[in-house]
Amino acid sequence: MDIDALTGCLASSACLVTQTTSGFIIGMLLFLVAVGLTLIFGVLKVVNFSHGAFYMFGAYFAMTAYQFTGSFALAMLCGAAGTALLGLIFERVFMSRVYGSDVLMQLLVCYAFVLIFDDVVRMIWGPEFKSMGMPAAFQVAPLFIAGGVVPPYYLLLIGVALVAAVVLGLGLARTRIGKVIRAAAHNPGMVSALGINTGLIYGGVFALGGMLAGLAGALAAPVRSLTPGMGFSVLIESFIVTVIGGMGSILGALIGAILIGMIRSFGSLGFPLFTEGLMYLFMVIVLVSRPTGLFGKEVA
Amino acid sequence: MTELQAEQAAVMPRIESQSQRSRYRDVLIALAAFAVLAILPMLTGSKALLDFVIRCSAFGLFATSLNLLVGFTGLVSFGHGMFFGLGAYGFGLIMQRSGLPVPVAFVATLVITTLIATVIGAICVRLKEIYFAFVTLAFQMLIHSTILSWVSLTGGDQGLRGGIPRPAFFGVDLSNHVHLYITSCALLVIGLLLMRQIAQSPFGYTLRMIRDNAIRASFIGIDVWRAKLTIFVLAALFASTGGIIMALFVSGAYPEFAYWTISGEGIFINMLGGVTTFLGPMVGTVLLLILNDTVTRLTEYYGIVLGIVILFFAIGLRKGLMDFVVEWYARRRNGSGE
């Protein structure tokens, strides 16, 4: 425990800005992963335990595309589109077979794919740590805000995540397809009786969730190292985010992600060894006081 | 007395006498199983086989106790591994620091487990389904983080090293491999027998009722919270015993023992073996350990093979092996009887 470091940082504006930015980075990446998780749970009522693998694939797809084309935009696109496709196939071929059966069976299918996907990545890209490297466009001097260091790439990352949050929130609330998705979440039988293909919606939502996780992985690729199994810690953390925010709530995922990001960022100063413990402690406190999370509704 | 209570009163003695009869049978089976396990070292000199049985004892107790929650009560715990880790660390620490005799340390570890499980359980069992799963997972990770960060007590990520002293007691010397083996087998058989008694007791039937319809159970006057808490603590005790066997076996304790993957493996073992039969988790344990040992020897891509096996069970059979066999047998018998 190092409370002095924490209070010292809180008193210095430079440190405050740096830590807050890094908290936002962690939070925004987590949000992109968690929002997919929460969306899939909200509509399909499936806890997608293999969601971290999509994050991992997003990062690897982006790295490979970047190595071949040298274009950052194409790398992001490949990361997102590749995982969307993967999500669609995974849902249609495997997950759709265990709907309505035991929750444990769904978890097992996901767990099986966590194991398989990690090994597939190991086979294709090798077991060692990889790095994509920062694109040339972002290799510029960092900004200084109140003495704190903020790399421009961080601003892009936060911007993309916020845009995704707004588009997703408005899309679900306002558009026709958004309404259909919400209706399918509420009463799939009725929606399918109206002549709407619910299988397509399920596949689409899974693909969308996979795409968001893949985008997060692609965005993280320049700043994190890539390794098989990298999806796992992200998965656990995004689980905490969704549970804190309330399963199925997009706003909850956003708030939860920022909270966890800040806990991680400032906790690492004050409690270097117990940072993870702080997150779990926070999760326990939230769950005990509000079992359905901060923004969750009681689902039947 | 209301009508429901009268009905309940009429059913209870019937279950009681039924369980009375099966109790003798269970004890006989347990004795026979122990006898077979006990003469094994005389038949074979294979240390690997004895090691295998010791590991089966540790994980078997753990998995079967998890099934008391998952299969019998419908409480899907993702954090049961914390009690496995707690047993290993509790026992290891007591032996390293106090030099108490083994049986005293054993009992002391169970007492500590009871206290912690009561506190955690009292909070967890209020929640339902997926939220129960998550909050148990959170507690597990909290304990894991505590083990990692409390370096002065637990050795942090290095684990509890330096060996666990195992002074002889009542002529049992646990540093002797055969003595350790026999002790593990005895703990396994006694543990399974006790759990079997719990499952077949009126309390065990209360648990099944809570699993099937908790609201109805509370209507006829069962204190659901209390029953769930009781089984949560009891299951923790058996998981902790599994952890103690593991600590004795490896002569140490490591943070992985308290990591969530142990809980995941426990769930997996249950699904592999089946959750509706009492011995399903035991079958699952043996299957998983054999699978682990052979696959890691044959290929470095262990995940792919294990993943495909899991898919076979989840999508192909849609149930554990024992569940499948029992249903198949029942179907066949009914079919030939027609």
The per-residue pLDDT for B18 is 65
The per-residue pLDDT for B94 is 92
DSSP 8-state assignment for residue B160:
B
Q: Who among B137, B139, B271 is closest to A108 (CB)?
A: B271
Taking residue A62's Cβ as centre, other Cβ atoms within 10 Å add up to: 30
CA distance A270 to chain B (A): 13
* ipTM surpasses 0.85: no
Integer Cα distance of A222 and A72 in angstroms: 10
Integer Cα distance of B223 and A125 in angstroms: 55
Q: Who among A94, A115, A120 is closest to B315 (CB)?
A: A94
In angstroms, what is the C-alpha Rg of chain B? 21
The per-residue pLDDT for A88 is 93
The answer to whether A115 and A53 are in contact (CB under 8 A) is no
Buried b (16+ CB within 10 A) or exposed e, A223-262: beebbbbbbbebbbbbbbbbbbbbbbbbebbbbbbbbbbb
CB atoms A115 and B148 under 8 Å: no
Integer Cα distance of A295 and A246 in angstroms: 5
- B264: closest chain A residue by CA: A111
The per-residue pLDDT for B10 is 64
The per-residue pLDDT for A43 is 85
- B70: closest chain A residue by CA: A104
The answer to whether A236 and B142 are in contact (CB under 8 A) is no
Integer Cα distance of A160 and A94 in angstroms: 31
CB atoms B142 and A240 under 8 Å: no
CB contacts of A120 in chain B (<8 Å) are 304
Q: pLDDT (tens digit, 9 = 90+) per residue, B248-299? A: 999 888 888 888 888 888 988 888 888 888 888 998 999 889 888 888 888 7
Any B CB within 8 A of A45 CB: no
Q: Who among A112, A271, A281 is closest to B311 (CB)?
A: A112
In angstroms, what is the C-alpha Rg of chain A? 19
Q: Is B20 helix (H, G, I), strand (E, B) or coil?
A: helix
The per-residue pLDDT for A300 is 35
DSSP 8-state assignment for residue B253:
B
Nearest Cα neighbor of B242 from B78, B30, B88 is B88
The per-residue pLDDT for B286 is 92
CB contacts of B318 in chain A (<8 Å) are 101, 105
CB atoms B127 and A111 under 8 Å: no
The per-residue pLDDT for B335 is 67
Nearest Cα neighbor of B238 from B97, B113, B123, B119 is B113
Tell me which residues of chain B have a pLDDT lower than 70.
1-19, 335-338
Q: Who among B156, B304, B311 is closest to A119 (CB)?
A: B304
DSSP codes, A215-239: HHHHHHTTTS-B-TTTHHHHHHHHH
Q: pLDDT (tens digit, 9 = 90+) per residue, A224-234? A: 888 887 888 88
Tell me which residues of chain A have a pLDDT lower than 50.
299-300
The per-residue pLDDT for B337 is 46
Question: Rounded to the nearest 10 degrees, what angle do helices A231-245 and A13-44 cross at?
Answer: 80
CB atoms A115 and B304 under 8 Å: yes
Any B CB within 8 A of A276 CB: yes
The per-residue pLDDT for B185 is 93
The mean pLDDT of chain B is: 85
Any B CB within 8 A of A93 CB: no
Nearest Cα neighbor of B93 from B252, B221, B204, B237 is B252
